[in-house]
Structure formats: C-alpha cells, structure tokens
A and B are shown apart, each in its own frame.
Chain A
Amino acid sequence: MVYDGIILGLIVGLFRGGLKNGLVQFGQIKLKGGLIFPILLLIQFLIFRFQGDASWLAPASGYFFMSIYVIGMAFLWMNRQNKGFMIILIGVFFNFLVMAVNGGRMPVSLDAAQVLGPYYTELLTSGDAVYKHYMLDASTRLSFLGDIIPLSNPYPRTQVISIGDVVMNLGIFLYIQSIMVPKKDTEDQDLATSLHTSN
C-alpha cells in the first residue's frame, strides 16, 4: 500500500505539472536526514529475509518493527514543514498505535481479507507465516484502526488496508503534488476581496 500514494501522486502530478517541470522539481527534493529512509527499508528487508533463519528473530521482529516505526515518525516530524508530512505522520501513528496496543502486530479483519482469496484467509486463521499481521478478533483493541478496508475491483489492486494507510497515502499524494505542480498565483483569493464592490 505504501507505493500506491507515490504512484498515484506521480501520475496525477505529471498530468498537472507537465513532464519536464514535474521531474525537475522532483530532482530537487531536500529532506533532513534523508538517508534514514533507505536505511530503514534495508533493515526491514534484512529482517524479512532472515526471519525464518534465526529463531530469536521471529518473536523479536514485532519490537524491531515498532522501533522502525518510531524512527520513521521522528524523521517525519523533523521534516514536518513539508506539505503533507504531518498527514503522513498521523497515518503512520494510527498504524503504530494499533500495533502497539496489540502486541506489535497488525490486526486484519477476516471479512475484509476475503477479497484476497482463500489462500490468505487460511494463512490468517492458522496464525502462522504472516509475520506482521494477525487475525482480528473480539479481544483486539482499537480494531477500527486495523486492516479492515477491503480494496478490490474497481481499484486496480486487491488488498486490505487500514485507515492509517489511507491517511498516510493521502499525505504522500499531497506531498508529491506540492512538489510537482507549479505554484499558481493566488488569483482566486485576490478576486475574493474585490467582491464587495461588484454590485
């Protein structure tokens, strides 16, 4: 789900901002602590890769993910003056919150997971091999922040997402728009002040 906002933002941005300007602007992004993100991504991959190999890693992975979230949120906070970053932060926080109160794993609604097909629902009910997720049940706290939104046709990708994902992607989308779309004059606002004498 993380990439949807980026891809959508890029597509819409290219339409609104033009190919050249959009890409030029994109090349000039400056973020504080810009290296943090790729490093976090790398660590995540490493955990995924070696989760099965080391026996101590599997139970601890939940805490690893939580700390990655915290670092990620700190990074977002540092760059909060960028448009959309606060929204991304809120979205990430929603996900972080629901995972934190549920033992470091994301609850997934079984009903919603139907869209993913029987293979995934079986995995979910059996409770193994889906490291970051577990099945949502009556004991789940803040279940409304969990993965409960099923996405399928007409949406091009079939998946189950949480409200945090939606908010986060909205933020990413807005951020990319703010970079790629050339700044317009605030003509509209100027006009508003002139209204009083129009009649």
Chain B
Amino acid sequence: MAKIFMKIKELDISHWYIAFLCLTGIITFIWTNGFSFINYSSEEWVKLYVMLGAALILNSLTFRLPPEGNVISFDSSIYLACMFIYGSQFTLAVLLLCSLSYFVYKRNVPWWKKLTNFSLYSIMITLSFQVFLAFNGTLGPVNGHNLASYILALTSYFGINTIGLFIYYYLLYRTDLANTLKGFVKDTILVYLCMLILSLVLCVLIVNNGTLGLILFLSLGIMLSHAFRLLFSMYHQILNRSNIDQRTALYNHSFFESSLDYHIIEAKVNDRALSLAMIDIDDFKKYNDSFGHLKGDLLISFLGSMLKEETKDTSIVASRYGGEEFTLLMPGYDYEKARHFVDKLRKKLNDTPFDGVEVFPHKCLSFSAGIAQYSIDLYDKSQLVDHADKALYYAKKQGKNTVHTYGCDLIMEDELDLSHEVNYIEQQLNLFMYKDIDTFKHSKRVYKYALDMSNILSLDKEEKREFVLGALIHDIGKLEIPWGVLNKEGKLTPEEWETIKQHVTWGKKIALTDPRFRDLIPYIELHHERFDGKGYPHGLKGKEIPKLCRMLTVLDSFDAMTTERPYQKTKTLQEGIIELRACAGTQFDPELVEIFIAYILARSPKNELTLQEETAPYMV
C-alpha cells in the first residue's frame, strides 16, 4: 500500500492529465454508446464491419508531412463521415472495435497511449456530434443547407484534438504557450481541411453508392497516402544529400555538429547519459603511401560501412569527422557502456580480413578510439569534442589499437602529457647536439635526477611537471655563449666567466618567447643562486630562492662535478658527495643536500661506488 502511495506521489502533472483524460473519455463513451451495438441487427453489424475495415486500412496507412514529421492518417475522415450519416453512437462503436483491433495488433505501443487515444477520440466524437445537432445538422445524405453545422462540428472536432494534445505536450515540455499553440495550429490546419472535404466526399459516396462508394473512397485514400509518402521520402532524399558523406554513406561533419547540439540539449534536459567516441584508423598514412589514395579511400568506405552496419539498430549517430576520423555520438550510453561497444567494434575490425593489411604493424586493420562522457558541468559542445580528441591522443600514445576513456586513468594521462612536453623540449635541446654535446648530455642527466627526486620529494602533479621540465631546460641560455668560450680547453679569463654567467639571463629571454616555458623560467634563471646569497644573477639568499630551484642547483652542480668538463677535473661519486657536504650551508641548502646524498647512496651500493673510481668517472 505504501508503495502504491509512493508511486502516486512520484507522478508528474502530465500523468494526472492523462489519467483525467482517460477517465473522462471512458465515461463519455459509456454514457453515449452504452455498448448498445451488442444488440445490433446483422445488417447493422455488417455496416459496422465495413466502416471498421475502412478505418483500419486508413489508420495503417500513416504518412508524414515535411518538415515537422507529424504522423498523420486519414482515418478521422471515416469517423466524421460515420458521424454525419449514422450518428455518434454508431461512430463510437466503430472507434471501440478499431481501438480493440489495435490493442491486439500493435502490442509494442504502450497501453496507456492507446487508451488515451481512444478517450480523446471518444470526447471529440461525442462533443462535435452535439455541436452538429445543436446547429440543426441532420443525419443521412449531405445537405447543402447544413454546411454551417458540418463546418462547426468539424471545427470543434479538431479544436478538441488540438487542445487535448497541446495541453499534454505543454505539460510535458513547458514551452512558450502562445507560440507553441500557433505552431500547432499552423502545421495541422491544412490537413484538417483535407479531412473535412474527404469526410463529406465519403458521405456522398456512401449514401449514393453504398459499399462501392466506400471502396472508391478507400482507393483514393490509399493513393493519397502513398503520394504523401513519396513526397516525404523525396523531401528526405534531398535533405539527406546535404547531411551524408558521399564516400562512407555516414553522416558528415556538419550533421555531426548539429546533432551534437541537439543531443547535448536532450541529455541536459532529460538527465540522460551521452558519450562521444572519436575513432581514427591506425597507420592510415602508411597504407595510403603503400597502395595509393584509391585503395585508401576503399579502406575508409569499408570502415564507414562497418560502422553503419554496427550502429544500425541503436541510437548511435555515426559520422565521418574528416579524413580517416569518425565519430560515434552515443545518446543513452555512459562511458562504460560506450567503451564496451567501441571495444567490441575494435576487436571485430581486428578480425576482419582486408586487402593489404600486411603493411600495418599489427598485421590487421585497427583503430584507436577516445571516449568522453558528457557531464552537466561541460561548458559547451566543443569541450566534449576536445575531451574525446584528447582521449584519442592518449589511445594513440598507448601504442594504438586501443580504446581510451577520457579521465579514467589520470596518472597515465599525466605521464603521457609530460612525455609529450619532454619531447618538445628535447627537440629544442637538440640544438646543443651540434654546438655543445656536453650540455645536451648534462641536461638529460639532470632531468633524470629530477625525475627520481620528484618521486622522493613526493611532489604533486604540477610541481613535478615544472621541476622535471625545468631541469631539462635549465641550461638553454648556453646556446648564446660563443662557440670558442663554450668549448675552450684550459682556463677561462674573467671576461669569459662573465659571459658564461650571462647564460641564465639569456635563457630567461629564450624562455619568454614560448608560453609553454613561462613557468619554467625560475629554474632557468635561478639555478646558479647560492644558499649564502653569493650566487648570480640576483644574489638571492636562503629561502628567497624557491625550494625546487635550490634542489636543481644541487643536481646541476653534482652532475657538473662528477662528469667530464673542459674547464674542470672530474670527481668520483664519492668525491662529489664529499664536495656537496663541504659546500652545504654555503652554496647548497643543507637539508636538500642530505636528501640528495641519501638518494645517490641508495642508488649506488658501496662496492659500486668504489668500483667507480677505477672505471668510469660517471655513470647514470
């Protein structure tokens, strides 16, 4: 009982409206009709059957009218004709049998919809018949003098229909009242006029020619419905030409954009899941280069037809995003479900034989896919696309032929991001390759120390990124130091030392040119500051220097001591440690030095440290 009460409480006002409508309809039906047709004579039953058959035939021939997509059939004209010839009681009997037939035949339509439809029709028929009588309408043959009553009865018939449906849609969607009603009436008025004329034609035909008249009418109705259907499909062919990608027969980019808009609004309003998958064929360029564009196009249309086939009976909108990229817009799919679907698709593609797959590294067709789920806090649709695109990038980075879901594996994503940036900086550092190979190697070693240290210091994601990248780039200013000074063997003159010192400021200037390096500037500028304030360029002291910059100074100096340099003798790791301790408190932050020494000792066991002395001066 409590459960039922809870259910009732959850009901929306539109549900109450439906319930009210059904109740009114059923009461109206019983009051008007009273199941009197049970006692009809055989002849009346035959009439009833004939009308029922006609109504069912017309009802099954639904057609749509462009552009709104209303589903319309001419069955109302049968009801109206019945009403004008035989009265409302008989019409309601036809309606009842027709509804019962549909109840049995169309089991996929929910029962309450059928009941609502039946109720609304009952009310429409009963009330409009009352109007018809009130304006002196007479049953039987069409009478020219009664034209006003026909028109008024019809107006009330469709008036009730429009208002009844309109209230329902209004309660459901709560849109602008006046405008919606205006649109409602505008869309349907022509169809309603058609119905009126058709129903009067039917009256004339039935009264004068009986069943033959009805058959003629039905033929006309069937052909009209068919003609409207053709019209609609033609309209759609034209419409689709602008929405379909010619090569793959999937939707094109512009359609994807507009349906993305639509589905995002839909997901927002109905609080429904929505996922976007972005699919990119792996190594497509390789295939194209090996076999030419014609074959490449074949591959694209092959994947297109597969996507179309696989998404046929789902709500998924598959589009060609461009080139060898495809999108699947998946309304009703959360990322788990979407991932499952796309992964299944990927495996299926892997198992599909295709001409020339031997050029691919996996020796089979494959794609990488990125999935992003819509969430309410997304600012706009481009963000969803961005997320999916990023996820696709991560999928590619993981070695292709994978599906990655955006935000599901943050650590891995961060690492991939970091390695991407490291790559970028390494490209810049490659300039050292020719100018000063030692600085290039030094930067990479310091970078590796920094990576380890950031784990030891348990830095957070952002700090780690800055520290590691800063370590990699810190000597970038050395590019500006003249060749002769940089590679000079023997002692440097004081002027040359000044030039060397300049590299921190030059480095800063270089870094300022690229917004990606902005937050790395402290590491470039301050890695020669000393703990006791005697460093350059600013002479900052102690805690004035950022902690990680102090750390970098330690790493930088230790690596400089323990590796071969043109202007300095190389120390062993042990000598390096002794030197670090000696300078702790003056050049270096003593706490950080100890942390670093502990790390170096832990990394190289005792015997190795001693071994070091005999073999190489440096090891990584």
Contacts and interface: CB of A to CB of B under 8 A. Distances in A.
A197 B258 contact: yes
B53 A166 contact: yes
A55 interface: no
Interface string B64-79: 1001010000000000
Given A166-B53, A198-B239, A199-B67, A191 B233 contact: yes
A163 B262 contact: no
A196 B49 contact: no
Contact of A149 (B46, B212, B243): B46
Given A196-B262, A197-B262, A154 B233 contact: no
Given A144-B42, A149-B49, A194 B240 contact: yes
B233 A109 contact: no
Interface string A100-111: 000000000101
Contacts of B158: none
Best-buried of A188, A196, A199 by chain B (most CB within 10 Å): A196
B69 A112 contact: no
Contact of B69 (A109, A143, A148, A192): A192
Contacts of A192: 64, 69
A150 B46 contact: yes
Contacts of A109: 42
A129 interface: no
Interface string B104-116: 1100000000000
A154 B69 contact: no
Contacts of B251: 194
Nearest to B313: A186
A191 B244 CA distance: 12
B236 A191 contact: yes
Identify whether the interface residues of A are mostly helix, strand, loop, or mixed: helix
A196 B259 CA distance: 8
A111 B42 contact: yes
Interface in A133-184: 136, 143-144, 146, 148-150, 154, 163, 166
A73 to B, nearest CB: 16
Nearest to B257: A197
A198 B251 CA distance: 13
A144 B40 contact: yes
A197 B45 CA distance: 48
Interface residues of B, number: 26
A144 B258 contact: no
B215 interface: yes
A154 B215 CA distance: 10
A196 B263 CA distance: 10
Given A90-B104, A154-B212, A197-B259, A136 B236 contact: no
B42 A143 contact: yes
B394 interface: no
B255 interface: yes
Contacts of B233: 188, 191
A9 to B, nearest CB: 16
A2 interface: no
B514 interface: no
B591 interface: no
A199 B251 CA distance: 16
B255 A197 contact: yes
Interface in A12-45: none
A90 B67 CA distance: 39
A112 B259 contact: no
Contacts of B215: 154
A87 B466 CA distance: 75
A154 B210 CA distance: 12
A126 B85 CA distance: 37
A143 B39 CA distance: 9
Interface in B295-342: 315
A191 B239 CA distance: 10
A111 B43 contact: yes
A195 interface: yes
Contacts of B49: 149, 163, 166
B95 to A, nearest CB: 17
Interface string B256-273: 001100100000000000
A177 B255 CA distance: 37
Nearest to B254: A197
Nearest to B49: A163
B262 A112 contact: no
Nearest to B38: A144
Contact of A146 (B42, B43, B262): B42
Given A166-B53, A195-B69, A148 B262 contact: no
A148 B46 contact: yes
A124 to B, nearest CB: 14
Interface in B89-130: 104-105
22 contacts: A109-B42, A111-B43, A112-B46, A136-B42, A143-B42, A146-B42, A148-B42, A148-B43, A148-B46, A149-B46, A154-B212, A154-B215, A163-B49, A166-B49, A191-B240, A192-B64, A193-B315, A196-B259, A196-B262, A197-B258, A198-B67, A198-B239
Given A166-B53, A194-B251, 12 more contacts: A112-B46, A136-B42, A146-B42, A148-B42, A148-B43, A191-B240, A192-B64, A194-B240, A195-B67, A195-B69, A197-B259, A197-B262
Interface of A: 87, 90, 109, 111-112, 136, 143-144, 146, 148-150, 154, 163, 166, 188, 191-199
4 pairs of A and B residues whose beta carbons are closest in the complex: A148-B42, A109-B42, A144-B45, A197-B258
